[in-house]
Chain A
Amino acid sequence: MRIARTALATAAALTLGLTAGCAGGKAGPDGAAAATRVFAADNGDVTIPAAPKRVVATGYAVPALLEASAPLVGVSTWNRGIPLMGEADRATYEKLPKVAGEQAAETNYEAVAQADPDLIVIGVPKPALADIDMKRLEAIAPVVAIGPSVPKAWRELSRRQADAAGSLAAFDAVRAEYDKKAAAGAQKYAAVLPKLRLAHLGAYGEVGKGNFQREFNGSWGTNVAQDLGANYYGEVKVRGGGSKDVSEYPSVEELSTAFAQADALTYSVAADGSLPAPVKYVLDSRLWKNLPAVKAGRVFPLRYTEAATYRSALRTLDAADAAFAPLLTK
């Protein structure tokens, strides 16, 4: 990481939230520091600036705050979200200094300190919080942890993340756009989709373990399709907490038992339409080809199922609309 002389000067002005007075440098957010409010986060009630000027985001908060045009000064890497980012957001993401890797454990505390934030928004699942030294981050700036619990919760989470970063207006505009499009789509498929018993094959199985991922209502692969009226029947055998409340990983041997009752199947594909290895593994097996829904030709690939923000979910909606189109012609 290259360190310019100015960065050192900025770091010198960094006060770790202990003293507010010595921020006499050029970047000093003198006026805004006064107004604060209390925000309810996963880590309790946190006092944060009412209008943050320098925000560091990690995990799922990265795409959410990029879209809400929050005043970001540092982000964690978020490779899985790159294909879903718009041009402008992507450019911003590339330009921002990276303060953490994909894993919570790879948080580089000194890099966070160097970014000199006045608010840190952590968007990692609760178990991963154990990997983060909260005390260290709290010494730098107020920390709000808003992590995904169940996948479909991204809707409220991204709103709270935008709220914390003081960018609600931009957020609500995108959400309104999404809601409108979803309502129109639901209208379009009202006659066909709600009647089908659907099942979804997710992209996070592991070929090396010989399993596949089945997603139920409220999971990553299913929640946007549900807005079009899709209904995924059944539920997990054992609730594993978090995303494992709505998805499970049975052995590929159980493929026919799992999907036998389904009228139609959907499966996750990559942003470019290609099959992820765990999906290809299942689709290539004869057990899959032997399923009633597959024999009837009722299989629909869904793109952009990783969407965790309204703007990217707009793409998911379009993709699902295109995928389900054959249902209307039949």
Chain B
Amino acid sequence: MILRRRSTRTAALLAALALLAGAAVLSVGVGAHTIAPAQVLRAVLWPGDSADHLVVRDIRLPRAALAVAVGAALAVAGALVQVLTRNPLAEPGILGVTAGAGFAVTLGAAAGVAGGAPLELGVAVLGAAAAAALVGSVGHGSPLRLVLTGVALSSVLAGISLGLRLLLPEVFDRYRFWAVGSLAGREQAETAPALLVIGVGVGCALLLGRQLNAVSLGEDTAAGLGVRVAPVRAAAFLLVTVLAGAATALAGPILFVGLIVPHLVRPLAGASVPWLTAFAAAVGPVLLLLADVGSRLLLPTGELPVAIVTALLGGPVLIWAVRR
């Protein structure tokens, strides 16, 4: 069913936000040992010095915030790419954009370029842009070809990374993190710049929605509505690379979030790009929070990188999307 009335959509968005809050509480409660929701609430509102409170405030809340930001960034980037390329299979992960960002960070770090978090972020965004440009120029035309190009690029980068790691083990072992996306152990890393960039990026994407809506109706229609196509497309492209790059800088390459979420929320948003973006920004974090909870439950000792859980979920979704 496709919801058309504005009030219905608003209600659905509110429901999604409520779901987000629930997922956040769940994700803060689950971990090495379970902390009851009431205790979680107390830790947030009346912080004390007990171990549970410290765990909630210093470890689980930052991690949940990370999941929210990364989930929103990837889902919105996915929605934008799908609109931009008119390709239901497009997604920053599958298209190799996150792989490019991760590879750039690894390379930059090995060359001693990416010192602090802001520089790392810059390098990641550059890598994302380079990968997106390459994949876009080779793979445009057919939706499936685009996917194939992204996969080919990812496997080339993976091969080179492995070779480099064997060549310079002491340099690259520290950056194994960039090979598989994960949200663990990041609570002390300097995440503020990337979080800020994601916040601004998602905001811009919401503002750009109306123009993109016009562009998605076709160039003539857009011109008729007084929207200049080229700048809007360029801005959307920029947003995709910035969001994907920032998400990768935070959590490493994570696939499929940008694919799953837009498909999930499309029935709610219909053809409206602003609503699609808004729903993606609300539901993306839910998906990543739940995947992160799953990553802690699937492995009794230690945890599974969250990117493995999203791949587990995402493969079937991709098949379903192709078969439609």
Contacts and interface: CB of A to CB of B under 8 A. Distances in A.
A277 B174 contact: yes
B54 A286 contact: yes
Contacts of B59: 210, 252-253, 285, 287
A256 interface: yes
Contact of A285 (B49, B58, B169): B58
Contacts of B301: 238
Nearest to B296: A251
A206 B33 CA distance: 19
A250 to B, nearest CB: 7
Given A249-B302, A254-B33, A281 B55 contact: no
Interface in A81-95: none
A286 B185 contact: no
B185 A290 contact: no
A287 B31 CA distance: 16
A211 B54 contact: no
Interface string B162-198: 0000000110001011000010111110000000000
Contacts of A206: 185
A304 to B, nearest CB: 19
B51 interface: yes
Given A250-B32, A253-B32, A287 B185 contact: no
A250 B54 CA distance: 17
A251 B301 CA distance: 9
The contact size tier of chain B is 20 to 34
A241 interface: no
A46 B60 CA distance: 55
Interface of B: 31-33, 49, 51, 54-55, 58-60, 169-170, 174, 176-177, 182, 184-188, 301-303
A285 B57 CA distance: 11
Contacts, number: 63
A329 B49 CA distance: 31
Given A281-B188, A287-B55, A209 B33 contact: no
11 contacts: A102-B169, A206-B185, A209-B303, A210-B187, A251-B31, A252-B185, A253-B55, A284-B188, A285-B59, A287-B58, A290-B49
Interface string A201-230: 000001111110000000000000000000
Nearest to B51: A256
Q: Which of A206, A210, A285 has the most C-beta atoms of chain B within 10 angstroms of its own C-beta? A: A210
A285 B302 contact: no
B303 A79 contact: no
B32 A208 contact: no
A56 to B, nearest CB: 22
Nearest to A237: B301
B303 A253 contact: no
Contact of B54 (A102, A249, A256): A256
Interface string A272-287: 0000010001001111
A253 B32 CA distance: 7
A290 B32 contact: no
B96 to A, nearest CB: 22
A290 B51 contact: yes
A19 interface: no
Contact of B185 (A79, A207, A238): A207
Contacts of A6: none
B118 to A, nearest CB: 20
A115 B178 CA distance: 38
Interface in A249-302: 249-257, 260, 277, 281, 284-287, 290
A266 to B, nearest CB: 21
